[in-house]
Amino acid sequence: MFGTFFKNLLDPAPEPLNPDDARLAIASLLVRVARSDNDYSAAEKDKILKVLAARYDLADDEAAALCAEAEAVEKEAPDTVRFTRAIKDAVAHEDRLHIVEALWKVALADGERDVEEDALLRLVANLLGITDVESAAARKRMEQL
What pTM value is reported for the model?
0.86
The candidate with the shortest Cα–Cα distance to 55, out of 80, 85, 30, is 30
Is 93 strand, coil or helix?
helix
Whether domain 18-143 has CATH 1.10.3680.10: yes
pLDDT (0 to 100) of residue 111: 85
What are the extents of the domains in the chain? Answer: 18-143
Residue ranges in the chain modelled with pLDDT below 50: none
First and final C-alpha spacing in the chain? 37
**Residue 81 pLDDT:** 83
Concatenating the DSSP letter of every residue in 106-119 gives HHHTTS---HHHHH
SS3 at position 73: helix
